[in-house]
Structure 1
Amino acid sequence: MGRVRKVFTGPLVIAVLVVVVGGVGFGMYWFQPWKLWQDETVQEALPGGAAEPAAPPAAAPEPADEPSDEPSDEPSDEPSDEPSDEPPASPSPATGPQTLASGELITHEHATSGTVKLVRLDDGSHLVRLENLNTSNGPDLRVWLTDAPVKQGQAGWHVFDDGKYVSLGKLKGNKGSQNYALPRDVDPSAFSSVSIWCDRFDVSFGAAELGRA
């Protein structure tokens, strides 16, 4: 007669299975590995960009006056040789967004490229603009304005939370061109770099040094 094997299905095995399943679920939520294969492209225009001036409407031609032999008391349109007391017209001030500083993104933990610009708008507000961004997706990515130096290689992965920094919000997309407004009480001259920062694992995906324009 064959030997019958008993399968133990007591509370301990059930508890172990619950812990394993829970651990796998938490790990998937925490690391979100599927994001590494998911791209999100966000394209935003620069606010207040200068528009092409509209062409003025063509004026209707005025009827020509009949020539007259009589002298006229009307002032002549002929140019005068006498100097004018009128000051020369000053050029109108430049309008539209102004780039105060810019830099190129370098790779840190993930391959990253693109241009970062610090821009002042007509109303006096400031924003950080990412142009042609290309990086990896990931969990809890933020755009940080910091005073940390940008270093190549692993030496630069974790330095951006060592000093002063301002989070400008979650990264809108890992590809494209996007705008991130600075809070009104933030002095942009106190910062020198921008990092695409993974807040969950305290690591920089990529960063740019801001060189003054």
Structure 2
Amino acid sequence: MNRRSFVVLVVVGAAVLALAVGPTLVEMFAPERSTTVAEAGPGPGAVTLATGTFEGADAAHEVSGTVSLVREGDTHYLYFENYTQTQGPDVFLYLTPQGDPSTREQVAAGVKVLVDGGADGGESTKEGTFRQELPAGVDPTQYRGVSIWCDDFGVPFGWATLDAE
């Protein structure tokens, strides 16, 4: 095989590989798109149990806004206000026993909370002001932190400590 045939073969092979693998790589690494919402705040009779302010992990992983743990009747939820975050692949919300949850161990000790209306069945892609009901059986008194965490790469995007009101 001469040099020219070899170069053509390599170029064609690379193009076929890019077409075959490219969409998978884009899906793995492309950030989700956020949705900005402006939902109603806590209703009458709601009790705010704890509140925290988000802190971003670094310049590439930013989170801001506030989060409150609220009880309304027998239902507990997290209420996000003026919430924004850097988007990424497979970024989820975790409620954790420890405040300022920024490590894999701290997040693993918590519970994943799927965001209603979030991308791909619960990723953290909503921004603005909204509430997220906690899963049944979760005792909110056992948790002091909220982490925004990338499951794919095991890195924090940001966190908040829930301080009692």
Per the normalisation by structure 1, the TM-score is 0.62
Q: Deviations along 1:173-209, whole A, 9 cap, x unmatched?
A: 1x30111111221111111101122222222211100
RMSD between aligned residues:
2.6
Q: C-alpha distance in 1, partners of 2:100/2:132? A: 20
Paired positions, count: 154
Q: C-alpha distance in 2, partners of 1:128/1:105? A: 13
> Of residues 137, 143, 152 in structure 2, which corresponds to 1:200?
152
Q: C-alpha distance in 1, partners of 2:40/2:97? A: 27
User: Which residue of 2 is the match for residue 161 of structure 1?
Assistant: 107
Of Structure 1 and Structure 2, the greater helix share is in 2
**Which AA in structure 1 matches 2:112?**
V
Q: Deviations along 1:105-138, whole A, 9 cap, x unmatched?
A: 111141221111000002x110011111122122
User: Which residue of 2 is the match for residue 42 of structure 1?
Assistant: 37
Partner SS for 1:185: coil
Of Structure 1 and Structure 2, the greater strand share is in 2
The offset of 1:39, in angstroms, is 4.8
- Indicate the percent of aligned positions where both proteins have the same amino acid: 34
Structure scoring higher RCO (CA < 8 A, sep ≥ 6) equals 2
Conservation of the 8 A alpha-carbon contact between 2:94 and 2:113: yes
**Which AA in structure 1 matches 2:48?**
T
**Which AA in structure 1 matches 2:29?**
F
User: Which residue of 1 is the match for residue 89 of structure 2?
Assistant: 139
Structure 1: runs of 5+ lacking an equivalent:
51-95
Per the normalisation by structure 2, the TM-score is 0.78
**Which AA in structure 2 matches 1:45?**
A
Q: C-alpha distance in 2, partners of 1:107/1:45? A: 25
